Amino acid sequence: RLGAVVEIIHTATLVHDDIIDDAKTRRGRPAANTQWGNSKCVLAGDWLYMQAFKIAVQERNFRILDTLIELTQQMVEGELLQMERLGKLITLDDHFDLIFRKTACLFSVCMRLGAILGGASAEQEDALGKYGHDLGMAFQIVDDVLDLTASEEVLGKPVASDLREGKVTMAVIHAIERCTPEERAKIETILNDRAFNGVTHAEILAILERYGSLDVATSRAAQYAESACKSICFFPDSEIKRALLWAPEFVVAREK
C-alpha cells in the first residue's frame, strides 16, 4: 500500500514538473500536459497528491504521515530552489542540495517507510535511510550524465535538455571551475539563451571530456553506490538484501 502511495506522489511531481519545464515528452511519449493542457494537469497533480495521502491515512500511523509530509515539502522546496537558480552558475554543494531535495529524499523515505512498517530500531532506520539517500544521489548524478551523453532515441527526450532549461549539473560545474574564459562563455550562452544558439552539443561534450568532467561525475556516482551498499552490510543475508545490494550497481551501469 505504501509502495503505491510513494509511486502516486512521484507521479504527481512528474505531472507538475512537465508543466514547469514545458516538457513535450516523457519517456519517449507525449507528456500529459501536451495531451490535456496545463490547467487539467495542475489539477490532476493536486488530485494525485490528495489520493496518496488518503491511502496513507489508512495506516493510522502518524510517523508515516509525518515522513510523507516532510518528503512532499522537501520536493516542492527543491523545485522552487531550482527555479530560482535556473541559468545561474551554482556551486557543487548547492547542486548536491538540489539533488537531495528533488531525488535522494524520495529514495530515502521509501527505505524509511519500510523500516517504520517493519518495526526497525532507530539505528536500522537510519542505515536504511542512508542507503536510500546514497542510491538516490547516485541515480540522479548518472541521470544528469546520461542527459549529456545518451542519444535522444535512448533517452526518450531531447539530449542536453538540462542545459537547455538553464540547469547546471555536476559535470558542467566541474568543467566551469577549470575551463578557459572562452569555453565558459560557450556554456553561459546556452544557459542564458536556453538554446544551442551558435554553440553545438558536440562542442559542450568536447569541453566536458577535455577536463574529464563526465568521468568525475560518474566516479562520484560510483562512490555513492558503494556507500549505499556499505550502509546495509550489517543486516542478515536475505533475498531482499541481495536485491538491495544489486540496485546501486545497476543504477551506475545503466545506459538509459
Give the domain range for residue 41.
1-60
Give the model confidence (pLDDT) of 103-130 as tens digits.
Answer: 999 999 999 999 999 999 999 999 999 9
Residues of the chain with pLDDT under 70: 157
**Considering 25, 60, 95, which residue would you say is the last residue of a domain?**
60
Let me know whether 99 and 168 are in one domain: yes
The pLDDT of residue 154 is 75
Let me know whether 94 and 8 are in one domain: no
Q: Do the beta carbons of residue 106 and residue 70 sit within 8 Å? A: no
The pLDDT of residue 124 is 98
The pLDDT of residue 158 is 73
∠ CA 37-146-189 to the nearest 5 degrees? 75
Let me know whether 239 and 213 are in one domain: yes
Nearest CA-CA partner of 146 in 252, 14, 18, 28: 252
Give the separation between CA 208 and CA 204, rounded to whole angstroms.
6
**Considering 10, 41, 60, which residue would you say is the last residue of a domain?**
60
Give the model confidence (pLDDT) of 197-210 as tens digits.
Answer: 889 999 999 999 99
Let me know whether 8 and 86 are in one domain: no
CATH (domain of 185): 1.10.600.10
Let me know whether 82 and 29 are in one domain: no
Count of domains in the chain?
Answer: 2
Let me know whether 46 and 76 are in one domain: no
The pLDDT of residue 151 is 79
Q: Do the beta carbons of residue 35 and residue 12 sit within 8 Å? A: no
Let me know whether 193 and 79 are in one domain: yes
Let me know whether 67 and 147 are in one domain: yes
Can you spell out the DSSP letters for 85-96? HTTS---HHHHH
246 — alpha (psi -120 to 50), left (phi > 0) or beta? Answer: alpha
Cell numbers found for residue 67? 515522513
156 — alpha (psi -120 to 50), left (phi > 0) or beta? Answer: left
Label each residue of 25-67 as H, E or C: EECCEECHHHHHCHHHHHHHHHHHHHHHHHHHHCCCCHHHHHH
The pLDDT of residue 132 is 98
The pLDDT of residue 26 is 87
Let me know whether 181 and 237 are in one domain: yes
Let me know whether 105 and 4 are in one domain: no
Alpha helices by DSSP H, the chain: 2-20, 32-36, 38-57, 62-85, 92-99, 105-117, 122-149, 152-155, 161-164, 170-176, 181-193, 201-210, 213-231, 239-253
Let me know whether 118 and 165 are in one domain: yes
Let me know whether 31 and 124 are in one domain: no
Give the separation between CA 63 and CA 115, rounded to whole angstroms.
11
